[in-house]
Amino acid sequence: MKRDLSDKLYAEAQKLIPGGVNSPVRAFRGVGGEPFFVQRGRGSRIWDVDGNEYIDYVGSWGPLILGHAPAAVVKAVSKAARDGTSFGIPNALEIRLAKLVREVFPSIQKVRFVNSGTEAVMSALRLARGFTGRDMILKFEGCYHGHGDSMLVKAGSGALTLGQPDSAGVPADLAKLTLTVPFNDRVGVESMISIHRNEIAAVIVEPIPANAGLYLPKPGFLEFLRKITAAHDIVLIFDEVITGFRVARGGVQELCGVRPDLTCLGKIIGGGLPVGAFGGHAHIMDLLAPSGPVYQAGTLSGNPLAMAAGVAMLEALFAEPDLYKKLNDLTAELAVGVAAAAKDAGVKLAQNRIGSIFCNFFCDGPVTDYASAKCSDTKRYAAFFHAMLERGVYLAPSQFEVGFVSTAHTSADIEQTVGAAREAMRIA
Please give the positions annotated as active site.
144, 239, 267
Cα–Cα dist 93/80, whole Å = 10
> Is-contact 359 351, C-beta < 8 A?
yes
Cα–Cα dist 117/142, whole Å = 17
> Is-contact 261 204, C-beta < 8 A?
no
Cα–Cα dist 224/186, whole Å = 8
Cα–Cα dist 264/412, whole Å = 35
Query: Is the alpha carbon torsion for 261, 262, 268, 269 positive or negative?
Result: positive
Cα–Cα dist 120/127, whole Å = 10
The residues, ordered by sequence, that sit 6+ positions from 74 with a Cβ below 8 Å of its Cβ are none
Cα–Cα dist 298/119, whole Å = 10
DSSP letter, residue 326: H
Strands 357-361 and 350-354: antiparallel
The residues, ordered by sequence, that sit 6+ positions from 113 with a Cβ below 8 Å of its Cβ are 94, 97, 98, 275, 276, 277, 301, 302, 306, 307
